[in-house]
Structure 1
Amino acid sequence: MIKMGKPSEAIAKQMREDLKKSYMEIIPVPGIEEKIGTLDPNMYLAVTCSPTKGVDETIQLTEKLIAQGFKVVPHIAAKCVSGKKHLETIVKKLDALGIEDIFVPGGDRPEPMGDFNNAHDLLKALDKSGHNIKKIGIAAHPEGHPDVSDEVLMEALEEKKDLADFIVTQMCFDANILSDWLVRINQKGIDLPVWVGLPGVIERGRLLRTSLRIGVGDSLRFLRKKSQVAAELMKSSTYNPDKLIRDISEHNDISKVNFAGYHIFCFNQIETTEKWRTESISSLS
């Protein structure tokens, strides 16, 4: 819940609307579909693609969530698609499920399973596949990437933009950095809607336990590489994004670009994060 000094009426309205249209990312682990009872069944959910479990696990969970009434955005990681036939199978499954939106990251596998070395490779193949998907999202990194230079990241974004419909950023902890990056991509002619990656209410102990449950540790590996993110999370037993949301809403430059809303990284702490989200919306009314 937002606990700082009361924001202006206009800022409170902006914060409230952005939180209302946010959506949550979940990681496919056994039994996770049983933990979403607190969520509005009309809510969008993103399902990640683990480098150890692959796309099939993502689609299996997607199917279960759709059966419960959720709108799902599955992640189809390029490095987890073994080739053209595998992609054809994936597209058929997505079309059969009525999937309208997908997200195409490169993926965290050290080496690709097959022909697709990066997201751009998969986007080009998807463009020729005759799918019924309406919107395709791509990844971006406002605070940089531990293994890739900022120049290369920007070039990749420019390369992919014409094959995509929206952008989802990695977690960002600094509104000024986010603003500078949004202005920069706008100047490059990249005007796709941007969903800003926002950490949810994350308890440190539960985050580490979740990391152990998802194989090699998708989230833990990310934290090891991103010292700034780790520092923010380790300041106390629980990280809360209230200040970040207010900083973003009060930033004039951010309000001028194509800011779509928040993509919430909850690390499967669904109940805690949703309780925070709904209480925050109520407190801002």
Structure 2
Amino acid sequence: MTMDSISDGNRTLPELVDPVSAANALLSQSSLEATPKQIVDLGATAPEWMHQGMRVYVPFLPNAAFENAFSACETLLGWGMKPVPHLPARSVPDAETLRAWLASLQRIGVKEVLLIAGDTEKALGPYQDTLALLASGILTEYGLTGMGVAGHPEGHPKADNTALKEALMFKRDYAKAHGLELWVVTQFSFDDESLIKWLDEHQTILSSIPVYLGLAGPTRLKNLLAYAAQCGVSTSAKALRKNMNAARLLRPWTPDALFRTLCEYKATHPSTSLQGIHLFPFGGLKQSNQWLSSAHLLVSS
């Protein structure tokens, strides 16, 4: 099936797509994260298993210098990737430093950033959250063409759903007013129901905003549950652990089942904002890239 329109009385509806086409669409818009150290460790030449042209998010790690992201972004640009450094509002000490960071990214050629509040309990400077960062107006001065913002299918420890929706609407309107591309990247989850419920509940707000759902890449399940505890996705982690025994915890985790469910959802919801997946490579960059290369085989028409 195609995405051509079909008639339904007085309405024109998009035709459903098949799961294989949905899978290919999601994979063609996939992205992943890579720390500055992971990128440095790959050497000067892009590995053959890296997917050309994909977005690669460069996180700002606790107790690290933001400047570490600069060389990583420069390397990724040289490899034909689209680097997207995290910009954590609470970790910005002052406006002067923010301007210096953005000026450096502009010189390198970075056009996109991911705005996040950050894990710092107390703001180091004047920006308590991403809304304050946007309100400063500084982000519009350094040639950025787009920005990603975070989505939280399992909720947020410091904000209720109403506040999160209001913040997302503010960012949507801000991006439109300033001619910036906007998209949402979500935290990873193990629970397909949480992901789909979040998509459905935000459909009106997200009608013009692409969404990239976070999935945990292949790794050992025991290690993954430890990451989940650190990343605030304990709800679905508890559900995943419920029927686990010690032997099962030693087996590898893959996002196969979740990916198949998302393909089915996209195939039956052609108007969804779901455009791609964002992979957290807890088991390593190579393993995650290889999974992306073969994930289309998980879905049959």
Per the alignment, in what secondary structure is the counterpart of residue 136 of structure 1?
Answer: strand
Structure 1 unmatched ranges of 5 or more: 1-7, 212-217
Residue 215 (structure 1) aligns with: none
Residue 213 (structure 2) aligns with: 196
Change (3 A) 1:230 1:159: same
Shift of 1:30: 6.2
Whether 1:245 and 2:259 are equivalent positions in the alignment is: yes
Cα distance in 1 between the residues matched to 2:139 and 2:156: 30
Shift of 1:111: 1.3
CA contact under 8 A between 2:99 and 2:138: conserved in structure 1? Answer: no
Residue 272 (structure 1) aligns with: 287
Per the alignment, in what secondary structure is the counterpart of residue 46 of structure 1?
Answer: strand
**Identity fraction in percent:** 25
Alignment: residue pair count: 269
Change (3 A) 1:101 1:230: farther
Cα distance in 2 between the residues matched to 1:126 and 1:54: 23
Shift of 1:103: 0.7
- Aligned AA (1:158): M
Whether 1:116 and 2:131 are equivalent positions in the alignment is: no
CA contact under 8 A between 2:217 and 2:283: conserved in structure 1? Answer: no
Residue 168 (structure 1) aligns with: 185
- Aligned AA (2:209): L
**1:221-254: CA deviations, max 9, x gaps?**
226x624236537754322111111111212675
Q: How do 1:54-203 residues align onto structure 2 when only pairs under 5 Å count? A: 54-126=65-137, 129-164=140-175, 165-188=182-205, 191-203=208-220
Cα distance in 2 between the residues matched to 1:186 and 1:227: 23
Whether 1:25 and 2:40 are equivalent positions in the alignment is: no
What do you get for the CA RMSD once the two structures are aligned? 2.9
Residue 255 (structure 1) aligns with: 270
CA contact under 8 A between 2:260 and 2:299: conserved in structure 1? Answer: no
Structure 2 unmatched ranges of 5 or more: 1-15, 176-181
- Aligned AA (1:277): L
Whether 1:49 and 2:60 are equivalent positions in the alignment is: yes
**1:149-196: CA deviations, max 9, x gaps?**
222222222232223411111113333332322222223466311111
Cα distance in 1 between the residues matched to 2:132 and 2:299: 43
Between 1:52-61 and 1:42-51, the stretch displaced more is: 52-61
Whether 1:221 and 2:235 are equivalent positions in the alignment is: no
CA contact under 8 A between 1:24 and 1:264: conserved in structure 2? Answer: yes
**What TM-score does the superposition give when structure 2 sets the normalisation length?**
0.78
**What TM-score does the superposition give when structure 1 sets the normalisation length?**
0.82
Per the alignment, in what secondary structure is the counterpart of residue 187 of structure 1?
Answer: coil
- Aligned AA (1:142): P
